[in-house]
Amino acid sequence: MRVIIADDSVLFREGLARLLEGAGFDVVGQASNAEHLEQLVAAQRPSLVILDIRMPPTQTDEGLVAAKRIRHQHPQVSVLLLSHHVETHHALELLGQSPERVGYLLKDRVGDLSEFLDAVRRVGNGGSAVDPLVVSQLLGRKRSRDLIDDLTDRERSVLAQMAEGRSNDAIASTLKISPKTLEAHIGTIYSKLGLEPATAHHRRVLAVLNYLRSS
Amino acid sequence: MIGGLRRAIQAGILAVVVLIWVAYVSNPLHFPGLAASPPTYWLKYALPGSAFATAGLIAWWLRPRNRVGVLMVGVGFGLLIGVGPHPAFQSPISREIENALFNWGPPRPGLFLSLGSLWVAMLFQLLLAFPGGHLTSRLSRWLVTSLYVFVPLIGVLEAPGGYGLDQSLPVWYAPQIASLLYVASPVLAIALILRRWLLGGLARRRSLSPVLWALAPITFALLPWTLMNLLVPIIGKPQSGPVSSVIPTLATVSPLLLAALPIGFLVGLLRSGLDMTSVASLVVKLSSGLLPEQLQSALAQALHDPSLRVAYWVPALDSFADLEGRPLDLPTPGSERAVSILDDATNPIAALIYDASLLHEPQLVDTAAAGVWMALENARLQVQLRAQLEEVQQSRARLVDAGQRERQRVERDLHDGAQQQLVTLLLSLQVTKAEAIKHADPKTAALLEANTEALKQALFDLRELARGIHPSILTEAGLIPAIRSLCERSPIQVEVRGDLCDGRLAPSLEATLYFVAAEAITNAVKHSRATHICVSLQRVTDRVVLEIADDGRGGADISAGTGLRGLSDRVAAVGGQLQVESDSGGGTRIHTEIPSHDG
């Protein structure tokens, strides 16, 4: 999978590139700012761009702006946004109306290598990844707790993993349950929450996030 | 002049006036000329003369320092003894006096006439120097000086028995010089007075108007005669008809009309005195204590100049300042605005800035200024205090702003420095761990894994620290997303109602409002036992209003804890207000209003 990395720290870029190459990814470019990144994307046509939200010159949300523009101009390119802080606001803004080929993770997630690589692959293959912190914050709210009051603990774990953008297979293997059992859980969740069943796993990310955020 | 001596002179003058009247009425010395003339003949001099002398005495008594009174007395005497400006107008009594006083020794033709008619020059001086008593323009000084020279000269030259009209006059002298002088001078004088009236301020006009009214009758009586005299050399002397009879009659009675003038002068003088009364009432007002603004309008009223401004000396600014304490430049000399600076021995206190027309009333301005001196010093201290307050407010706002910038800088440094380095370290631990696993070294891999966990905890702590210092979402997305993010972390349900029309505010404002919301929500979670918090944020014209209300037990006190107190100070520093309503059992409502500046 062809990847471009954008971050203003060369050490981080190099470290991440080494990690990704060790896992079989093909890092085809590195950029230290949004402008250079967009030139590289246009030239290299990568499958995936991994970028930091804060980049020069203002060190605020250049990465978010660049991510949205790349998604608009190159719909076939997947975008994974990294940040030292995660915010629901940014997550929803990035996901927009189409949660395909997009991810938003805390930078610290590189510390869980397999989880991180799983998310990178998921986004690169057209899926989505939402940081567990965003999901847990949404689930932890009083309003959300009221909404999901009827769910069992197991069902809540399933809901959280759905919101993070995981596929059924991934959820089943993480929770060590059979795909059949998982599907039963998902059906119960949908009926308890009154949600429209969504087939594609990345579609249901938005449905669940918006449901949890409604207040 | 010493008061006693002055009063003695005044009494003496009064006695002489009475004596002259006695001479006119009963003729005790049996002057033949006086006995032969009818009372109408001398009344036309004696009446205006005594009016001038009496009014002059009153004026002198009321305004001892103003030479107007003395000049009026002088004019009065000239008229009383009946010396005309020309031999043709000489009264019987003046001839008698001349005979009695000067008909001895060598003949001095016209000497009495020339000295006696100096009152004409005095009258012009009076007209042009009224009401201050000083000739202010160069033209008026020139005119009055030439009258003092030429009037006696004409008396000498044209007196009967002197050089006389029928005798040989000096080659350079023509009788027309007298006519020209007596025609041109009144015209010029009236023009000068009118000019002074037109250019003068309200106070000046109040004084001059009565004089102008009093001048009108004699002007209209003498004007035809003057014109006729001018035209005689050209068109010849009219032989009959109203022109030949009425005009000379009018001219003959014209001295009588002069009697109106002293009344005009006296009224004018008293009216300028009324301005002194308004200054006096200003001083009375001061006793009740005036604010700087009220002092300014009271001064403007007393000096009849609504445009008057008071500027106060503020040593800290090394400049004069207006009522709000802002530095102010004084108008330059020669402009339409005039300045009087008041000072004590060492320092300026205040400056009065007023219409330049008031320069004609230096006495009035000085009197008013002297009256308000103490109040001005008082007001200056108030203005100085305001200037200092303004400075303190600005410096407080700068401090808060600097503090805010500093927090933002620290957060950025943490983000770009420690956080980034730790994440990079985390990455390299992962790479190392992968190597260890590849080389079948599970012990090292386990150690590295433990380090990874410790590092992740450090990153978590650092992230929370950075958020507390300055939440990055505030910079990245603005106040409403930041407050929503705050609410998402709250264990109590928080409802956010906000409308800033997607507009961003100034960074210090956003930060202030954010920390108000954060502190209020933290307080509610910790102390209020509330189940619901409502945060509303809206822009009302030029203000941003933030309100945080909970349904808890209330009883929050702004003066009790440092949290609310600090927030209130911080809000005040950006020019806003924070109010806390927290009745026991009735929930807590924190209402903050800050003037908004778009960021």
Write out chain A residues lying below 8 Å of B489, CB-based: 137
- Measured in angstroms, the CA of A20 and the nearest CA of chain B are apart by 10
Write out chain B residues lying below 8 Å of A110, CB-based: 423, 426-427, 430
Give the residue with greater pLDDT, B161 vs B29: B29
- A128: burial class by Cβ within 10 Å (0-12, 13-18, 19+)? buried
A 152-211: CB under 8 A from B: none
- Per-residue pLDDT at B395 exceeds 60: yes
Share of chain B above pLDDT 90, in %: 14
B111-136 per-position pLDDT tens digit? 676 777 788 888 889 888 887 777 87
- Per-residue pLDDT at A55 exceeds 50: yes
Q: So what's the pLDDT on residue A147?
A: 77
Residue to substitute from B476, B504, B529, B535, interface A, most A β-carbons within 10 A: B476
Nearest CA in chain B to A215: B495
Beta-carbon separation of B424 and A11 below 8 A: yes
Q: Which of A66, A128, A143 is nearest to A95 (CA)?
A: A128
| Spatial separation of the C-alpha atoms in residues B10 and B61, rounded to whole Å | 8
Nearest CA in chain A to B413: A59
**Averaged over B477-497, what is the pLDDT?**
87
Going along B290-336, which residue ranges are E strands? 309-314, 319-321, 327-328
Encoded amino acid at B421, one letter:
Q
**Whole-prediction pTM value?**
0.58
Instruction: Name every residue whose Cβ is closer than 8 Å to that of residue B408 and which is 6 or more positions away in sequence.
Output: B470, B475, B507, B511
Q: So what's the pLDDT on residue B424?
A: 92
- Per-residue pLDDT at B545 exceeds 60: yes
Nearest CA in chain B to A19: B431
- Per-residue pLDDT at B326 exceeds 70: yes
A148-174 per-position pLDDT tens digit? 888 888 998 998 998 898 888 889 998
Q: So what's the pLDDT on residue B202?
A: 67
Share of chain B above pLDDT 70, in %: 82
B512-544 per-position pLDDT tens digit? 999 999 999 988 888 888 889 999 998 888 889
Write out chain A residues lying below 8 Å of B459, CB-based: 108, 111
B282-318 per-position pLDDT tens digit? 777 777 777 778 888 888 888 877 788 888 888 877 8
| Spatial separation of the C-alpha atoms in residues B369 and B372, rounded to whole Å | 5
Residue to substitute from A16, A20, A93, A107, interface B, most B β-carbons within 10 A: A107
Q: Which of A50, A63, A105, A9 is nearest to B476 (CA)?
A: A63
| Spatial separation of the C-alpha atoms in residues A185 and A190, rounded to whole Å | 9
φ/ψ of B468, rounded to 5, equals -65, -35
Give the residue with greater pLDDT, B500 vs B134: B134
Both tokens assigned to B523: 């307080």
**Averaged over B126-151, what is the pLDDT?**
84
A 52-91: CB under 8 A from B: 53-54, 59-61, 64, 84-85, 87-90
**Averaged over B357-364, what is the pLDDT?**
70
Write out chain B residues lying below 8 Å of A214, CB-based: none
Helix (H) or strand (E) holding B494: strand B493-499
Write out chain A residues lying below 8 Å of B433, CB-based: 113
Going along A67-215, which residue ranges are E strands? 78-83, 102-106, 128-130
Buried/exposed code over B272-306 (b: 16+ C-beta within 10 A; e: otherwise): beebbebbeebbebbeeebebeebbebbbebbbbe
